[in-house]
Amino acid sequence: MTAKKRIKVIMAKPGLDGHDRGAKLLARVFAEAGMEVVYTGLRQTPEMIVEAALQEDADVVGLSSLSGVHNYFFPRVVELLKEKGLDNVLVVGGGIIPDEDVPGLKDAGVAAIFGPGTRTEDIVKFVEENIPNT
């Protein structure tokens, strides 16, 4: 790590869900915490998200879903990241995700799930503490 190193985040909304309040809010919060955030917008396939992570050499991929498709999309993103050799990328998720789904998502390689009402500073702290040093 050099002094100029900054955490690079991809914020993405997988699937067809258009509720992006949380995703956009977090993009802003991450930027205010000194990170460089690439927002990919709506209707992203896991392939598109991973391609962005690859090209941008992202440290973190943040996924947001409110339509109940997390069990399909989040693990698929992790899987594709691994396929591309991006094992070190920290994947975090948020949105409306029942607690009972969290263990399964964590087993699949999602580092953390942040539900509604999570303080953004806790999310920032988690990311800062958990990105792998390269």
Q: Is residue 28 a contact residue for another protein (CB under 8 A)?
A: yes
d(CA 32, CA 38): 13
Residue 51 binds another protein, judged by CB under 8 A = yes
Rule CB under 8 A: which of 65-104 touch another protein? 67-69, 71-73, 84-86, 96, 98-100
- Smallest gap, in angstroms, from Cβ of residue 28 to another protein? 6
Task: State the virtual CA torsion across 37, 42, 47, 48 in degrees, nearest 10.
Answer: -50
Residue 111 Cβ, how far from another protein at the closest point, in Å?
Answer: 19
35-49 core/surface letters (b: 16 or more CB in 10 A; e: else):
bebbbbeeebebeeb
Q: Is 133 in the site for another protein (CB under 8 A)?
A: no
Q: Enumerate binding residues for another protein (CB under 8 A).
A: 2, 4-6, 8, 15-21, 24-25, 27-43, 45, 47-48, 51-52, 54-57, 67-69, 71-73, 84-86, 96, 98-100, 115-117, 119-121
